[in-house]
Amino acid sequence: MKIFISGIAGFLGSHLADKFINDGHHVVGCDNLIGGELDNVPPEAEFYQYDCCFRNSMLKITKGCDLVYHTAATAYEGLSVFSPHLISQNIVTGSVSLFSAAIQNKVKRIIFCSSMARYGTNKVPFLENYKPAPQDPYGIAKVASEDILKNLCEVHNTEYVIAVPHNIIGPRQKYDDPYRNVVSIMINLMLQNRQPIIYGDGNQKRCFSYVEDNIYCLKEMATNSNVVGETINIGPDEEFITINDLAEKISNQLKFNLNPVYVKSRPQEVLKATCSADKARRLLNYKTKTNLETGLKNMISFISKKGVKKFRYHLDLEIINSHTPKTWKNKLF
C-alpha cells in the first residue's frame, strides 16, 4: 500500500512510519517541524516539509495514497488556554485541510489521532460512548475535527477511524519542550541534577502509554473492517498513578534525591484522566506489552544517550496574565 502519515518527523508518526516501511509499504509523509525532528524521519520515506494547513500541498502529496494517518498535531493541551489561536489553527484548519485533500484524492480510509482531552471531566475510566466534555481549546479543537471528519466521510463515502491515544511515552519523544510531555521533562531535569516542577499538589492521576502499544493499535486500524466508523481508545488502562508517584518512580530509577518544586495549578487541568482499553481489546485484540517501569527505563536510556538539553521556549504565549503559569512566563524549566 501507499500510506500517508502527517507528523512523520514527530514521536508517534515516525514510529508508525518505521513499522509500515519494515512491512514493505511505500510511506509518504509531511511535517512542519514545530514538534518534530528531521532525524526521526526514516530515510526510506518520501518526506515533505509541508504544513497541513495548506490544502494544495496536501492535495499534491496525498495523491495515489490508499490510507491517510493524521498524527500531526500541536498537542499542547495546557498551553492551548494561553495560545488558543496557534493550537486551534493547527488542529482544526490543519485537520480539515488534510481531510479535504484526502477525500478529493479518493483515499480509501482516514485514521485520525484524536486525544483523551476529548473526555474532559467525564467519569474515569473514559469510555468511547461518553459525550465529549473538553475543558480547553485543544480538546475542543480535537472534537471539532472529529465531527468534521465524520460529516465529510459520511457524505463522500470514505472510511474513517478515530483513534484516541493518551500520554504516550518512549524513545524519540521531544524532551526539550517546556510545554508538554511530563515524563520527558522530569527525566531531562533530573539528569541535569535539577528538581522536577509539579503543578498543583501532584495528585493528578494518569496512565502512561508506551509508544509500541499505541503503534500496534494504529497498524491494526489500517485493514481491520470491524473498526470503520468507530472511535477507539488506544493504550493501556493499567497503572493509574499520580504525578507525585510518577516523579518518585523516575527518581528511584535514576537514584536521584527527590524534592519536587510545587507551583500553582494550571487552569482547566483535568485531575483524573484515564481511558478504558476494553473496546481495543474487543476489536483489535489489544494487550499491553510494556509496563510503566520498563517504559521509563527505555526513556531514561534514550535521553541519557542523546544527552540532556536546555529547554527551548519555541512557541509564543498569546495571552500573558496572572493565570499564565510562571514556569512559562519566567522560563523556569
At 257-309, the pLDDT tens digits run 999 999 999 999 999 999 999 999 999 999 999 999 999 999 999 999 999 99
Q: Judge contact between 199 and 265, C-beta under 8 A.
A: yes
Tell me the pLDDT band of 213, cut-offs 50, 70 and 90: very high
In the chain, the amino acid numbered 172 is R
Conformation bin of residue 284: beta by default, left when phi > 0, alpha when psi is -120 to 50: alpha
C-alpha count within 13 angstroms, C-beta hemisphere, residue 212: 11
pLDDT per position as a tens digit, 310-321:
999 999 999 999
Residues 6+ apart with CB under 8 A from 168: 11, 12, 208, 209, 210, 211, 214, 235
Alpha-carbon distances, residue 25 vs 2, 108, 115 (angstroms): 6, 16, 27
Res 301: pLDDT: 97
Q: Judge contact between 223 and 119, C-beta under 8 A.
A: no
Report the percentage of the chain scoring pLDDT > 90: 99
Q: Are strands 205-206 and 241-242 parallel, antiparallel or unpaired?
A: antiparallel
Res 330: pLDDT: 95
Res 193: pLDDT: 97
**What DSSP string runs through 15-58?**
HHHHHHHHTT-EEEEE--SSS--GGGS-TTSEEE---TT-HHHH
Tell me the pLDDT band of 190, cut-offs 50, 70 and 90: very high
Give the three cell numbers for residue 41. Answer: 524521519
3-state secondary structure of 253: helix
* Range 36-59 average pLDDT: 97
Tell me the pLDDT band of 157, cut-offs 50, 70 and 90: very high
Tell me the pLDDT band of 55, cut-offs 50, 70 and 90: very high
Res 124: pLDDT: 96
Sign of CA dihedral 180, 83, 95, 115: positive
Q: Could you check whether the bond before residue 125 is cis, i.e. omega within 30 degrees of 0?
A: yes
Tell me the pLDDT band of 48, cut-offs 50, 70 and 90: very high
Q: How far apart are CA 121 and CA 124, in angstroms?
A: 8
Other CB atoms within a 10 A radius of the CB of residue 163 amount to: 26
Q: How far apart are CA 287 and CA 221, in angstroms?
A: 15
* Range 64-68 average pLDDT: 98
Report the percentage of the chain scoring pLDDT > 70: 100
* Range 225-236 average pLDDT: 96
pLDDT per position as a tens digit, 240-256:
999 999 999 999 999 99
Q: Judge contact between 219 and 20, C-beta under 8 A.
A: yes
Q: How far apart are CA 40 and CA 317, in angstroms?
A: 27
pLDDT per position as a tens digit, 67-86:
999 999 999 999 999 999 99
Res 113: pLDDT: 98
Q: Judge contact between 9 and 34, C-beta under 8 A.
A: no
**pTM (predicted TM-score):** 0.95
> Which residue segments constitute the domains of the chain, with CATH numbers given?
2-168+210-233 (3.40.50.720), 171-207+240-273+291-329 (3.90.25.10)
Give the three cell numbers for residue 224. Answer: 481491520
3-state secondary structure of 192: coil
Q: In terms of residues, how long is the chain? A: 333
**What DSSP string runs through 122-140?**
PPSSB-TTSPP---SHHHH
* Range 89-107 average pLDDT: 98
